[in-house]
Amino acid sequence: MADSNFIDYVKFCSRSGAGGAGSVHFRREKHVPKGGPDGGDGGRGGHIILRGNAQHWTLLHLKYKKHVIAEAGKGGEGGRRTGADGKDIILDVPLGTVAKDAETGEKRFEITEDGQEVILTRGGRGGLGNDHFKTATNQAPHFAQPGEAGIEEWIILELKLLADVGLVGFPNAGKSTLLSSISAARPEIGDYPFTTLVPNLGVVAYRDDKSFVMADIPGIIEGAAEGRGLGIRFLRHIERNSILLFMIPADAPDLNAQYQILLHELEKYNPELLDKKRILAISKSDMLDEVLIKEMEQEIPKGIPYVFISSVSQYNLEKLKDLIWQAIHS
């Protein structure tokens, strides 16, 4: 997932097709002196449809589609022949894509399953032909319905990555290093803040051929909910996670204070995030001895499962996987 290719927000104009007009037609045959109305119905206008595709990870392929326009339905014909429906347009999107009305911000629906199809903008209905309007007192109606107009609207698609575990921490807390150590993901790693500029996903192998998915988002800083840093833009990607794995480096001045800052920023962004299960990992612990670990345990907030780890030396990574697996399936 290259940095420049990760697109999690697109806005475009969605216009469905208009329905075809009904036909005004009368049966005219040599040996049928009283052939009545036989105008056919117009075809339905094309829909704009979103389809879940597990092979897609970003909305990059939709970034430059500013207008998506479906085909109009064809008009009806004589002999009660219905016009052809307009061709639907199907847009493949990653799982976790949320469709919203651009004007009101109202959420329409969310795509969560591979192959799931939902109509985003419905095509107009075809008009009825004059065959439908014949009655005992009006046996030759000279009118039919016009097709229903299509709908034109501006749509926003937002991607929320679907993962079992979301990594939460300050910049340079070792989140990317952990992801690269326990999965095949290869995020950029560097000794400077905000190395991670876009979210990364990794599949973590567990015992007996089991696995779970971990998401790493850019680091959060104090004041993120007011727009500071990068993390606030990507916090939507942990809204769908089952577990939040907080990562604080062992050289942090105060473990509890850093944890409370992270918790406070999540609460300001979305209070529901605090309802998720939490695990605390103290990273870069290969520099600690048993005495230091005992002292630091006094700073750890009460009631949260924790583990001291080192991604570089692989210290306690299996124990961390055990904690995550138990939390996911408890």
Question: What CATH number does the domain containing 143 carry?
Answer: 2.70.210.12
Q: What is the pLDDT of residues 104-114, one digit of tens each?
A: 999 999 999 99
Beta-carbon contacts of 307 under 8 Å, excluding residues fewer than 6 positions away, are: 279, 280, 281, 282, 316, 319, 320, 323
- Rounded distance between C-alpha atoms, residue 77 and residue 38, angstroms: 8
Which residues, other chains included, contact 206 with Cβ-Cβ below 8 Å and sequence gap of 6+? 212, 321, 325
Query: How many domains, in total, are found in the chain?
Result: 2
Q: What is the pLDDT of residues 126-171, one digit of tens each?
A: 999 999 999 988 988 999 999 999 999 999 999 887 788 988 888 8
Q: Which domain holds residue 25?
A: 9-159
Taking only the tens place, the pLDDT of each residue in 34-64 is: 778 999 999 999 999 999 998 888 898 999 8
Average pLDDT on 264-276 reads: 86
Question: Looking at residue 155, what is its pLDDT?
Answer: 97
**DSSP conformation letters of 19-39:** PPPPP--B--BTTBTT--B-P
Give the percent of the chain with pLDDT over 70: 89
Q: Judge if 135 and 284 occupy the same domain.
A: no
Taking residues 162-182, what's their average pLDDT? Answer: 83
Is 181 known to sit in a ligand binding site?
Answer: no
Q: Is 120 annotated as a binding residue?
A: no
Rg (CA), the chain: 29
Average per-residue pLDDT for the chain: 86
pLDDT band at 185 (very low <50, low <70, confident <90, very high): low
Segment 228-232 mean pLDDT = 52
Ligand-binding site membership of 131 (annotated):
no
Pair (155, 221) in one structural domain: no
Ligand-binding annotation for 301, yes or no, is no
Whether residue 174 is found in the same domain as residue 318: yes
Q: How far is Cα 56 from Cα 44, in angstroms, rounded to an integer?
A: 30
Q: Is there a single domain that holds both residue 188 and residue 113? A: no
Q: What is the CATH number of the domain that holds 246?
A: 3.40.50.300
Q: Do the annotations mark residue 174 as ligand-binding?
A: yes
Banded pLDDT at 173 (limits 50, 70, 90):
confident
3-state SS, residue 80: coil
Residue 311 annotated as binding site? yes
Q: Same domain, yes or no, for 242 and 185?
A: yes
Question: Can you give the pLDDT at residue 286?
Answer: 86
Q: Is 26 annotated as a binding residue?
A: no
Q: At what angle do helices 175-182 and 317-329 cross, to 10 degrees?
A: 90
Has 229 been labeled as part of a binding site? no
Shared domain check, 147 and 64:
yes
